[in-house]
Amino acid sequence: MEVFSHIAIKYEQEYKRVPVLIIDNANRLAEKQQGLLDLIQDYAKRATNEGTATVVFVSSEGHIPSRMMGKSVMFAVLVIH
């Protein structure tokens, strides 16, 4: 995350836009690597507060929204059937 943050700052300086990090299949992290998901969620909050980056979690399962509700993270849930 430190490397991404460094590059994100350079990107914002050059293009005047905040970069977006997309975590696809985030439900797999919830199932198999919860500790890593927690670290990424903490990074997402810090990066958003600092204006360094925006982190988007994409999930096809219901595990991610319930895990995120316990965190102090702003999120939106879009359900597609």
pLDDT in tens, the chain (81 residues): 889 999 999 999 999 999 999 988 888 888 888 899 889 989 998 998 999 999 988 887 665 666 565 555 555 555 554
What single DSSP character describes residue 39? H
Per-residue model confidence (pLDDT) at position 68? 64
pTM: 0.74
Per-residue model confidence (pLDDT) at position 3? 93
Tell me the CA distances in angstroms from 22 to 53, 57, 78, one per residue in order.
11, 6, 15
Per-residue model confidence (pLDDT) at position 81? 46
Burial of 4 (0-12, 13-18, 19+ CB in 10 A): middle
| Distance between CA atoms of residues 31 and 53, nearest Å | 25
